[in-house]
Amino acid sequence: MSQPIVAPELYINRELSWIEFNRRVLAQALDEHTPLLEQAKFSAIFSNNLDEFFMVRVASLKSQLEAGLSTLSDDGLTPLQQLEAIQERLRPLLELQQQHYRHSLKGQLAEYGVHLLDYQQLNPGQKQWVDDYFRRSVFPVLTPLAVDPAHPFPFVSNLSLNVAALVRDPDSGRQQFARVKVPQKILPRFVPMPVELHQCGPRPVYAAVPLEQVVAFNLQPLFPGMVIEGHYFFRVTRDADLELRDLEADDLMEALQEGLRKRRMGGEVVRLEVADEMPEAVVHQLMDGLEVEPEDLYRINGPLGLDDLMSLLAIPLPSLKDKPFKGRTHPALARTQKSQLEDGSIKQEEFESIFRVIRHGDVLLHHPYDLFSTSVEEFLSQAADDPSVLAIKMTLYRVSKDSAVIASLIRAAENGKQVMALVELKARFDEDNNIQWARQLERSGVHVVYGVIGLKTHTKVLLVVRREKQELRSYMHIGTGNYNSKTSSLYTDLGLLSSDPQIGQDLVELFNYLTGFSKQQSFRKLLVAPVTLRRGVEERIRREIEHARAGRGGHIRAKMNSLVDPAIIALLYEASQAGVRIELVIRGMCCLRPGLEGISDNISVSSIIGRYLEHSRLFHFANGGSSEVFIGSADWMPRNLDRRVEALVPIEDPALKQQLEQLLELYLQDTGAWHMQGDGQFTQRQPEGEQQLVQASLMQRWRGRLRGA
């Protein structure tokens, strides 16, 4: 059966929808209710998001354009039209970000003793200290690169910050151009100065000057005997996507390493950012040397590369940050935590095996409110040490640098267990990290595989096989987020700990599919991409259509990161027209147009941008009163449904299902949510009275439970 295709006028361009998402991120920075250092954080996230967008999405469109491809997007735009629309949408946002930094953030931070100073603002004592710092810590690592007939235009690396220096030879009178790379990867972008040197107003908590200005106002030692006539800042973004052939595992690692070397060097330039005051002659010289088209030029009225604002979160001013929050140990797992005595021994009478807890019933986890360390990491740690555990299998997509997960897998292998880890080497921008983990795991005796040829393994699953009373029992964790302790405290994610035999058998067969030559085409309970997930989702949407047409009502609630798939969107339009009520919570891209008369009247879309990155995927189908609820790793995008290995797991325990239904209701009632209009724009509610924010409500609930409420 051919997939329905949505009409172009009913589909929102995915790139423009992504820009709308990043606009909502920037709005968090501009919101006066956001603590000041958190404003800096969101501005940094906005910039970092844009860097990746240019390195991947804009780079892809430019490649299509250069290859002469005229394929239209699902909304009917050519690559050139999309690039033009991207520029039109982005430029006002960049100016908004800079206005906020220059006219709001800096001034308000100064009121609290945090001074982000320009070099020209420094008093004599501060200038002396900065100049000494330059000679001591910066000058030795700089390499000025001249541009003249004997010196071709130098290579400018991806995302590097640079000074374009104009110098004149006093003998010949000839003006020359040189490039100096700012070493912000090895030195702090904001150079902190001794606070006692600040002489204006109250004693500061923190005073700093941008590193690029430290370099720019100390160029003379780099060009002795020359006259410095000007300096201007610029930054380059290059194509950083890796295009890989389908290769066997050994070849894949080799190809990835070669691809990473090329990425570090950088592909074609896709964006040139220059200081707004840079003269046209210098701009043209850069554009010629870097082979940049006019449409790829962005003049910035302020500092370039504001992703470095993230470093300001280290300033010790709690009043300018979100109130600290640490999750709790899930109540069902509280007795599974080993209590150590002073002599290092364990209070066994207080310790209960996590496997016994899971045998008694499924455990639903919600991070960061439930601690990752005392749930998922504890599960894996006990499995590594338990003599009854025979095998551990798991998928690894993104892992933290100092990973307790990796340590447990290594310890399990050393304890003689069969340990298999599928390490997804193609996890974008984590490839190098994953290569290092793969090698370390292999050296420790872990069986490491790299997944199915032609597919990226994105599913988050962990299987533990244990011998109990002369038979084998499977225990498992299936989640929406990575096995990453760092992001588990920054992202909201859901997870299920279970010993359901049918889910366990599904996972056994899924791992056989991932590691061998299995052509598994069906599963008992899991919906698995690219095998059964698309069909399973579409069948459930059609079932809601049938319920609605039969007068039994129809209702779909779903929370995800992105809704892009044209076939799913077309089916949702059909469901809306049949009377199915559809409520969607979508953090990022949404290519569906809600609220269109006669087409999507029954569809609403909201988006929540808050303290934590909303990362959980949760799907609810009313099914005429016999509801089905799933969690898992997949968004409704073609890549998740057709080109990745993904898994959704049903939540069948009535109490846990009710918890998730209530959670969806809480998200839908968030008074700070952004609401999508039919034209793709989002507006934020401005409620009167006290706001009901889902993340704040959940933190309050967990704090109450910690107090015994």
Q: Are 590 and 12 in contact (CB under 8 A)?
A: yes
- Coil, helix or strand at residue 234: strand
> What secondary structure, in 3-state letters, does 137-191 show?
HHHHHCCCEEEECCECCCCCCCCCEEEEEEEECCCCCCEEEEEEECCCCCCCCEE
Q: Which of 100, 115, 458, 477 is catalytic?
A: 458
Say if CB 627 and CB 667 are below 8 A apart.
no
Spatial distance between the Cα atoms of 619 and 648, rounded to a whole number of angstroms: 9
What is the 8-class DSSP label of residue 102? I
Rg (C-alpha) for the chain, rounded Å, is 28
How far from chain centre, in Å, is Cα 274?
Answer: 27
Return d(Cα 350, Cα 571) in angstroms, integer. Answer: 53
Two tokens, residue 380: 């894996």
- Could you give the CA distance from residue 428 to residue 470 in angstroms, rounded to a whole number? 43
**555 flagged as catalytic:** no
Number of CB atoms found within 10 A of residue 152's CB: 10
Question: What region, left, alpha or beta, does residue 73 occupy, with left being phi > 0 and alpha being psi -120 to 50 degrees?
Answer: beta
- The DSSP bridge pattern shows strands 145-147 and 175-181 to be antiparallel
- Structure letter (DSSP) for residue 678: T
Cα atoms in the Cβ-side hemisphere of radius 13 Å centred on 621 = 22
Q: Distance between CA atoms of 630 and 511, rounded to whole angstroms?
A: 20
Which residues are CB-neighbours of 587 under 8 A, at least 6 positions away?
21, 560, 561, 562, 607, 608, 609, 613, 614, 615
CA angle (428 as vertex; 423, 433 as ends), nearest 5: 50
Identify each DSSP E strand in 508-580 by its residue range: 527-529, 555-560
What residues are annotated to the active site?
458
